[in-house]
Amino acid sequence: MLSRRLAIAVATGAVAALSLGTAAQAAPARHAGHEATLRTLAERPDLLIGTAVDTSALAADAPYRADVASEFSSVTAENVMKWEVVEPARGTYDWSQADQLVSFAQKHGQEVRGHTLLWHNQLPAWLTSGVADGSIDTGELRAILHRHITDEVRHFKGEIYQWDVVNEVFDEDGSYRDSLWLQKLGPSYIADAFKWAHAADPKAKLFMNDYNVEGVNAKSTAYYDLAKKLRAQGVPVQGLGIQGHLDIQYGFPGDVGDNLARFDALGLQTAFTEIDVRMTLPADATKLARQAQDYRRLLDACVAVKGCKSFTVWGFSDKYSWVPGTFTGEGAANIMDENYVRKPAYTALADGLRAAARRTGRH
């Protein structure tokens, strides 16, 4: 694994040291007035600042590539570490796109968040159809899950600093999500997943990850209770990932600080893992100001607690956001627009990192 110290050293060595090929030519104009990037500003509060990466854009879009390299100290695969991508046919692995992202990250002194080992979405068709038609029974399903987690974590052993081991396993009311995993294996699949991941890479920090768990509510309390129970049983759960998919039409979750503090008190890490703040289109100055405020409030909550060590946005440019395809009429959720022009939300994060750097003794 790239040490955090190395990541910081590379970042401090400045963007000039980055080997970006054609991307390097595109960077200076857009970076005029932005000599300090988010990743360099995040060094003092000792925070990794991350983005989800669309690997197709990384391959094809030089300005995108330049910003991934210069602005962030952590990357998350938006899709290419998910099960449907890494094992499209049973027993046939395809790590190619994920490996390319990991080598990009290593070249640019970045850490990699692993996303995600177990989810109810983006499962390979051979698996869901085998369960549906009964050709994969419960015993075999458990063995398949064990092998998937073991093989994927082993493949990236030493290269991933935090894994989202289980993703979105609770409903809003705090009951377990009625997924294929719960239906076939019962709730013990969660503890098993953590034990198997830990056995495959004992140094990676293992996270649960979900949305709508920013503040104190039924869902985040279910996570808290589960984490407490699993840790008492010696299950290697080390963190809660808080996605942070917000929408300015809803109120900002007010007790984020209290929520993070209670996980801190359990000795767990926290991480903001997938932040974006959407709005009804078209964007205007008022909406963008509110969006900036929400990004900043999440950042301030993170730097206020000891255990929050990474802050990841779910893509940084509106050019590649998942939001418009899912929420009709909404978008503009990221910190840069489609042309990589920095929005007020970018400035708010930069200001927040500067303010955090001026304070002392976070860690």
User: Which residues are at the interface with ligand G3I (CB under 6 A)?
Assistant: 78-79, 121-122, 167, 243, 274, 322
* Alpha-carbon gap, residue 253 to 255, rounded angstroms: 6
- Give CA 276 to chain center in angstroms: 11
- CB-nearest residue to ligand G3I: 322
The H-assigned helical ranges of 72-217 are 83-86, 96-107, 125-132, 138-155, 180-185, 188-200
Burial of 148 (0-12, 13-18, 19+ CB in 10 A): buried
Least distance in Å: CB of 136 to ligand G3I? 22
Least distance in Å: CB of 115 to ligand G3I? 6
Residues with catalytic function: 168, 274
- 31 or 82: whose CB is closer to ligand G3I? 82
* Alpha-carbon gap, residue 300 to 294, rounded angstroms: 10
- 210 or 294: whose CB is closer to ligand G3I? 210
Q: Are 349 and 299 in contact (CB under 8 A)?
A: yes
Least distance in Å: CB of 276 to ligand G3I? 9
Least distance in Å: CB of 243 to ligand G3I? 6
- 79 or 106: whose CB is closer to ligand G3I? 79
- 81 or 145: whose CB is closer to ligand G3I? 81
- 28 or 88: whose CB is closer to ligand G3I? 88
Question: What angle is formed at CA 206 by the lines to CA 200 and CA 210, rounded to 5 degrees?
Answer: 135
Least distance in Å: CB of 84 to ligand G3I? 8
Residue whose tokens read 């900036």: 292
Residues 6+ apart with CB under 8 A from 326: none
Length of the chain: 363
